[in-house]
Amino acid sequence: MDTELGTLHLSVDDDDDIFSTKSMDSNKPIDPPKSSTATKEYGQPMQEDLTPYGTRRPEEGAMERSVNTVTLVGRVGNDPLMRGSKERPVTVFSLATNTSWKSQGAAAGEEWSHRTDWHNIAVFKAGLRDTAYNYVTKGARLYVNGRIMYGEVTDRAGIRRHTTTIAVDDLIFLSSKK
């Protein structure tokens, strides 16, 4: 590790080339990689993917597992709408969740603060999508389990806006509308 620059050097050689030209097992020279690669153990090239938003799937073997789960309990803000195309329909609606906390410095029983967060909900699964469209109503209390999806849309004025949507995997009706 280079303490001045804060970078990790990929080669133990002091050459200008960042790739070692000798195998760690012996003094046999190895071929340097032909593309933008980093050196793996024993001088074998490893492809580097430095894009922050892309995901690279391995050519072989199991893919690393990850978790993207959201659970919400709240009230529906509007009657569901069917959007998308005939080939790829989607049911969308909003869901409100509430948070309450005691304000700093408040004495016992005094000064509570409240916040309501609005979530964009999208139901893609065929059976669940139709159930949500037909039975979810404004004001109904729902349990929603799904995953976060980030996206970007361009509005009519040509301004790009970032979106956050919950893609529903499971939906439970807790009560009818208030």
Beta bridge partners of 117: 97
43 and 106 in a single domain? The answer is no
75 and 38 in a single domain? The answer is no
38 and 77 in a single domain? The answer is no
Using the 3D structure, point to which of 12, 32, 61 is the last residue of a domain: 61
Q: Give the structural domain span for 78.
A: 70-175
SS3 128: helix
pLDDT tens across 14-69, in order?
444 444 444 444 555 545 444 444 444 455 555 555 555 555 666 777 778 899 99
Q: What is the CATH number of the domain that holds 154?
A: 2.40.50.140
Using the 3D structure, point to which of 18, 35, 61 is the last residue of a domain: 61
Residue with more model confidence, 54 or 8: 54
131 and 98 in a single domain? The answer is yes
121 and 41 in a single domain? The answer is no
Count how many Cα atoms sit within 13 Å of the Cα of residue 18 in the half-sphere of its side chain: 13
158 and 105 in a single domain? The answer is yes
**Lookup: tokens for 55:** 């995901």
136 and 117 in a single domain? The answer is yes
39 and 83 in a single domain? The answer is no
48 and 130 in a single domain? The answer is no
Q: Which helix (H) or strand (E) holds 112?
A: strand 112-123
Cβ-based neighbour number of residue 121 at 10 Å: 25
54 and 74 in a single domain? The answer is no
DSSP label at residue 32: P
Determine which of 33-37, 51-55, 82-86, 109-113 has the lowest per-residue pLDDT on average: 33-37
113 and 159 in a single domain? The answer is yes
Determine the pLDDT at residue 8.
Answer: 42
Alpha-carbon gap, residue 146 to 168, rounded angstroms: 4
pLDDT tens across 142-161, in order?
999 999 999 998 889 999 99
Count the domains in the chain: 2
Using the 3D structure, point to which of 61, 88, 104 is the last residue of a domain: 61
76 and 49 in a single domain? The answer is no
Determine the pLDDT at residue 153.
Answer: 86
Determine the pLDDT at residue 3.
Answer: 45
